[in-house]
Amino acid sequence: MSAKANKLKVPEVRMLCDLFVLDRTGISDKDGLVNCLLRFLGSPNLKLCKGGGGGKNTTKAAISLTNKEEDDELPERGTMPDTGQLRKWTKAYICCFNMEKVTIKHALEIAGDKFGVDLSSKKSELKDLLTEEM
């Protein structure tokens, strides 16, 4: 992956860093930008992102996720998530998708893929969590 990333031009690397809302403060050279991007892609972590780069929803979710302890881990694939786990997933979801364009059907599909279960029974709960986070 490193070899392909190094073939990109500086504006392309900057664009990718901005796409993931990465904090590239103080990084001006191509190697630093590529390392910043690869570090994030290798181990995504909200601490590597800017707090306000993606709008108010991203800021709110980034603050709450980084301040929250990691004790409620996501369940194993194929296991129905509890409310806390679904809330954590919802916060990550709103960071990734434009909330003006998503539907509850889309959120159920993505969550179902993530957890490996049919979440149609949790439709109203997921809808409430999404509304609460927005």
As a whole number of angstroms, the distance between CA 106 and CA 46 comes to 23
- Give per-residue pLDDT as tens, 95-133: 777 777 788 898 898 888 888 899 999 999 998 988 887
Q: Are 64 and 117 in a shared domain?
A: yes
| 129: containing domain | 56-133
Q: Are 74 and 125 in a shared domain?
A: yes
Cα angle 123, 60, 20 (rounded to 5 degrees) comes to: 90
Q: Position 36: which residue type?
A: C
- Give per-residue pLDDT as tens, 14-49: 888 888 788 888 888 898 888 888 888 777 777 777
Query: What is the total count of domains within the chain?
Result: 2
pTM above 0.75, yes or no: no
Q: Are 36 and 67 in a shared domain?
A: no
Q: Are 36 and 80 in a shared domain?
A: no
Query: What is the pLDDT confidence band of residue 74, given thresholds at 50, 70 and 90?
Result: low
Q: Are 13 and 38 in a shared domain?
A: yes
Domain C-terminal end among 48, 64, 84: 48
pLDDT at 70 over 70: no
